[in-house]
Chain A
Amino acid sequence: MAYIPASSYLSEFEFQHFVDQYKRFRVKRFLHFPVDVPFDKILFKEVLKADIIHLGGGNTFHFLLWLRKTKMLEALKDYVFRGGILTGLSAGAIMMTPDISTAGMPSFDRDENHDNIKNLDAMALLEFDFFPHYRNSPRYDAEFRRFSRKTKRCLYVSPDGAGIIIDGEKRTFVGPTWLFHEGKKIAIN
């Protein structure tokens, strides 16, 4: 299982935490692969041979910048098309959607675009948008309703501890999730 953190900054400790979490499921072999520091092709190739690649959480803009710079974005898409399992937490999950617009939401608690990225296109492995860390409150809902009216795409939102599993055409919702579509809010799970 390969762990790609959103940033190398203190990611060694995140990696330790990650290993502790997945060891419980009898995963035995792990790779730590930050993309915002130079890496050699040996480890790069090894990562793409992993059974599971996990994209960590952090600043989504920073993460996208480096995944694109290192051509990892394309490599990860290819990995999924070859049957690899790609998982993502927070920024890592947003990375699989068409673009990372939701990282800039809600306006009162958003990721900062320090790197001033203009092209927000992500992997587009999914045809919907996703928002993690959702809190079921009118402040959040007002922004998401506006957003879903504008994009026309479905926006799924999950609080911490919840998520979505996509296996081919099948979607499984783990924990509470809501759908925002064309300004409406629908409870999914």
Chain B
Amino acid sequence: MVSSVKKSVGDMQDAKKAYPAFAKINGDHPFKSQVSEGRVEYRARTKKGGRVVFFHFDLAKEMGLLPKDHPNTLNPDLEAQILETFSIQIINEWDIENNIKFPETEIRPNTYMATRYLQLQHPDKSGRTSGDGRTVWNGTIRNQGVTWDLSSCGTGGTKLSPAVNIQKKYFQSGDPSVSYGCGCSETGEGLETLFFSEVFDKNRIKTERLLMTIEYDKGLAINVRAYPNLMRPSHFFGHLKQGNYKTLRQVADYHIERQALNGAWLDVRSKGPSEKYQYMLNQVARTFAETAARLEDEYIFCWLDWDGDNILMDGGIIDYGSIRQFGLFHSEYRYDDVQRFSTTILEQKQKAKYIVQCFAQITDFLIKKKKRPLADFKNHASLKFFEEVFEEAKYKNLLHKVGLREKFSGDLLKSHLNEVRVFRRAFTWFERAKAQRGTYKVADGITRDAIFCMRDILRELPQLYLTRGELLQPEEFIEIIRSSYAKKPDLRLTPMMLKQIQRFQVSYLNLVDLAARAQKKERHQVLLDITMRSSVINKYDRVTGDSITYVVQKVARCRPRLKPEELFQLMGEFAHYQTLDPDGRGQVVDEAVGDGYPARQKNILRGMAGIVRECREGL
């Protein structure tokens, strides 16, 4: 455990010299000057008593905060610099109303902004009062052609939180009488985001990243997130709802400029205003179609409601509070959010499409300066484009899951779409099959169990075809694909089940043969390639939402004995173990888990792997 760091002024100057990049992060942010009504600014003061419990050394190097050759250890200078930069608390409306005085030496020279965005749980429902309720933006840092946004969660309650607007009064930061709205965050929240987001990032799913966690008494924390662009659709929607053309345009221009600056959108700067906004709409349609397909195919539950505050503009995941990954396609799970149930995983697509429809409305508004009703855009060309991209992405994702290489799956889709479609139908039939038990309550919602594990069949089938050279018997097929949720009545070999088993196998082998023909190879050669790739892609133990919860509980229990660098190492090893990239270079270890790690970390990692295995089919 690293204790709080107290530094003299001279020592602090040494720390600043050692880590000059931190000085750029001081509350300044281009959004402040470019979007006139997009934020609320707060003065901030030093928050004492913090200690760094996690620091993402690799991310800090990628962002240019640390030199590349910096050792992955938290020395006193680095910790002091981190605390100096990030351990802050805003001076909020309650502090001002109650005339609370803070020593001038503790007050930061710059203000920090909380951004305004639409949140439907606010009574106003139009974004006038909502936005970052417990987060402020620390600033930006640019390195290797990418500008990163940094924001800190847990820096005190702002007037944009739901609690302030529902109860119509300001709250002291940390007021225990309000949970969400007190402006605090917890270490556990940070750890959950850390473990989930690192696994997603390693598997090329766009996501916010956790740069650090600073812990205070009673498990309270400041969790600092980083991403190349932290704009969400909801940053647009508030101003759209209010018909605030000027601010909406400023937000759009700001966003387009950042995407261009980061090289994410090419050639957009040279376009005229209308073309530029049209370009933005196309990007949003493509991004949200691909994201919706990917989330569905990876069984990721992300509550994509139309206020769009759980997702970033480029489809990246933000705010892990309600994020889950299912082990099976539990497509009827709904999260119970007290006032309402969430969408299901299958309804995400419609929500994503609705976001695109809103952007069609935004684009039209920006170009014509007149806001037309959203319903006018229900048949907009961008929605047709969304459907096309979504369908293409679904096919590509499926062929990837099977284990086919991308360069050949593209050919298959071009020349043999019908054959792929037949396989997709059979695959979907099994993937969506549900238990006869019906819908029932779980701890945080309702669900109806999926009964087949598609990963298991996709992993074993190529091996068995390779060794046997013939189709499996229906009983064998069921024995492999059945999950622990399936009961006897679910597995009866009805005529329909037999037909689907036959269809699945025949169409699967048909795809293999088509791929073999395209590659001028023998069937067994393609099956071997698929066997190897599929064993990685469809690995037996893959994280689920439940497993992350238990993993974090385990880490939290061990954490008092773990140094920040050990937690960093552990997180890295866990994410590596959950990387399902067949083209990545796997690290072959000569131990049950993690060669070269201290015994204590190995034990934790082994325990984590056990949890992932145990929860692999759940929610």
Are the C-beta atoms of A7 and B540 separated by less than 8 Å?
no
A15 partner residues in chain B, CB cutoff 8 A? 532, 535
Give, as a whole number of angstroms, the nearest-CB distance from B479 to chain A: 5
Query: CA of A40 to CA of B532 in the docked complex: distance in angstroms?
Result: 19
The verdict on A42 contacting B472 (CB below 8 Å), with A8-B541, A37-B613 known, is yes
Q: How far is the CB of B311 from chain A (nearest CB, A)?
A: 31
Cβ of B602: which chain A residues have Cβ within 8 Å of it? 112, 114
Q: With A12-B535, A114-B602 in contact, do A40 and B480 touch (Cβ < 8 Å)?
A: yes
Answer whether residue B466 sits at the interface, using C-beta atoms and an 8 A cutoff.
yes
* Residues of A close to B603: CB separation below 8 A: 114
With the chains together, A49 CA to B466 CA distance in Å? Answer: 13
**Interchain Cβ contacts under 8 Å between A and B, 19 examples:** A8-B540, A9-B589, A12-B586, A14-B588, A16-B535, A29-B524, A30-B463, A30-B466, A31-B463, A32-B535, A37-B541, A40-B456, A42-B460, A42-B480, A43-B463, A49-B467, A50-B467, A58-B589, A59-B591
Q: Which residues of A contact B443 (CB under 8 A)?
A: none
Flag if B586 contacts A16 (CB, 8 Å): yes
Chain A 90-127 interface mask (CB, 8 Å, partner B; 1/0): 10000000000000000000011010000000000000
- Tell me if A46 counts as interface (CB < 8 A to partner B): yes
Question: Bound state CA distance, A178 and B418, in angstroms?
Answer: 63
Using A16-B586, A37-B613 as known contacts, list a sample of 20 further A-B pairs with CB atoms less than 8 Å apart, ordered by residue number in A: A7-B592, A9-B609, A10-B576, A10-B577, A12-B532, A12-B536, A13-B585, A13-B587, A14-B588, A15-B532, A16-B535, A29-B466, A29-B524, A31-B463, A32-B463, A42-B464, A42-B479, A42-B480, A58-B591, A112-B602
**A17 contacts the other chain (Cβ, under 8 Å)?**
yes
Q: How far is the CA of A6 from the CA of B590 in the complex (A)?
A: 9
> Do A40 and B479 touch (CB < 8 A)?
yes
User: CA of A35 to CA of B463 in the docked complex: distance in angstroms?
Assistant: 16
* Residue A183 CB within 8 A of the other chain: no
The distance in angstroms between the C-alpha atoms of A30 and B576, with both chains bound, is: 25
Which A residues, 15 to 58, have Cβ-Cβ distances below 8 Å to chain B? 15-17, 19, 23, 28-32, 34, 37, 40-43, 46, 49-50, 57-58
The residue of chain B having its C-beta at the shortest distance from the C-beta of A15 within the complex is: B535
Partner of A37, one of B480, B540, B606: B540
Which residues on B sit within 8 Å (CB–CB) of A14?
Answer: 586, 588
Are B467 and A9 in contact, with the CB atoms below 8 A? no
Report whether A10 and B480 are in contact in the complex, using a CB–CB cutoff of 8 Å: no
B241 is an interface residue with CB less than 8 A from chain A: no
Interface residue A62 (Cβ < 8 Å from any Cβ of B): yes
Interface residue ranges, B against A (CB under 8 Å): 456, 460, 463-464, 466-468, 472, 476, 479-480, 524-525, 528, 531-532, 535-536, 539-541, 576-577, 585-593, 599, 602-603, 606, 609, 613
**With A32-B531, A34-B540, A114-B606: A59-B466 Cβ-Cβ less than 8 Å:** no
Q: Which residues of B contact A46 (CB under 8 A)?
A: 463-464, 467-468
Contacts of B577 in A (CB 8 A): 9-10
With the chains together, A57 CA to B532 CA distance in Å?
19
A contact residues around B589 at 8 Å (CB): 9-10, 58
> What 10 A-B pairs have minimum CB-CB distances, sorted nearest first?
A13-B586, A59-B592, A62-B592, A7-B592, A12-B536, A12-B535, A37-B540, A42-B476, A29-B467, A29-B466
Question: Which residues in B have their C-beta under 8 angstroms from that of A111?
Answer: 591
Residues of chain B with a CB closer than 8 A to A29's CB: 466-467, 524, 528
Q: Which of A6, A34, A46, A111: most chain B CB closer than 10 A? A: A46
Q: Return the contact of A19 from the options B467, B479, B532 (Cβ within 8 A).
A: B532
Task: Give the CA-CA distance A43 to B479 in the complex, in Å.
Answer: 10
Q: Looking at the assembled complex, report how far the CB atom of A11 sits from the nearest CB atom of chain B, in whole angstroms.
A: 8
Given known A9-B592, A12-B535, A12-B536, contact A30–B587 (CB-CB < 8 A): no
Cα(A114)–Cα(B591), bound, Å = 11
A60 to chain B, nearest CB (A): 10
Complex alpha-carbon distance, A12 and B541, angstroms: 12
Q: Which residue of A lies closest to B586 (CB)?
A: A13
B479 engages A9 (CB within 8 Å):
no
> Which residue of the partner chain A has the closest CB to B576?
A10
- CB of B464 within 8 A of CB of A57, answer no
* Chain B residues, CB < 8 A from A30: 463, 466, 528, 531
Q: Which residue of A lies closest to B594 (CB)?
A: A9
A50 to B586, CA, bound (A): 26
User: From B533, which residue of chain A is reached at the shortest CB distance?
Assistant: A16
Residues on the B chain within 8 Å of A32, using CB: 463, 531, 535
Chain B contacts for A50, CB-based, 8 A: 467
B528's partner among A8, A12, A13, A28 (CB-CB below 8 A) is A28
The residue in chain B whose Cβ has the minimal distance to the Cβ of A45 is B476
Is the Cβ of A17 less than 8 Å from the Cβ of B593? no
Taking a contact as CB atoms closer than 8 A, the residue among B464, B532, B587, B590 that contacts A16 in the complex is B532
A13 close to B539 (CB less than 8 A) = no
Cα distance, A49 to B464, chains bound together (Å): 12
A46 to B613, CA, bound (A): 24
CB of A30 to closest CB in B, whole Å: 7
Interface string of A78-91 (1 = CB under 8 A from B): 00000000000010
Question: Closest chain B residue to A17 by CB distance?
Answer: B588
Contact of A10 among B468, B524, B588 (CB under 8 A): B588
Which residues from A are CB-within-8-Å of B466?
A: 28-31
Can you name the residue of chain A whose Cβ is closest to the Cβ of B580? A12
Q: How far is the CA of A87 from the CA of B501 in the complex (A)?
A: 36
Instruction: Find chain A residues with CB under 8 A from B540 CB.
Output: 8, 34, 37
Which A residues are CB-close (under 8 A) to B587? 10, 13
Determine if B591 and A28 form an interchain contact, defined as CB atoms under 8 angstroms apart: no
**What is the CB-to-nearest-CB distance from A42 to chain B, in angstroms, rounded to a whole number?**
5
Give every chain B residue within 8 A of A43 (Cβ-Cβ): 460, 463-464, 480
Q: How far is the CA of A40 from the CA of B461 in the complex (A)?
A: 12
In angstroms, Cα B479 to Cα A24, docked, is 34
- Give the residues in chain A near B609, CB-CB below 8 Å: 9
Q: Which residue from B463, B472, B599 sits with its C-beta under 8 Å from A112?
A: B599
In the complex, what residue of chain A is closest to B472 when comparing beta carbons? A42
Report the separation of the CA atoms of residues A67 and B472 in the bound assembly, to the nearest whole angstrom.
27
CA distance A13 to B539 in the complex (A): 11
Contacts of B528 on A, CB cut-off 8 Å? Answer: 19, 23, 28-30
In the complex, what residue of chain B is closest to A61 when comparing beta carbons?
Answer: B592
| Bound Cα distance A16, B603 (Å) | 26
Complex alpha-carbon distance, A153 and B442, angstroms: 59
* B587, closest chain A residue (CB): A10
- The CA-CA distance from A114 to B535 in the complex, in Å, is 27
Q: How many Å lie between the Cα of A2 and that of B83 in the bound state?
A: 54
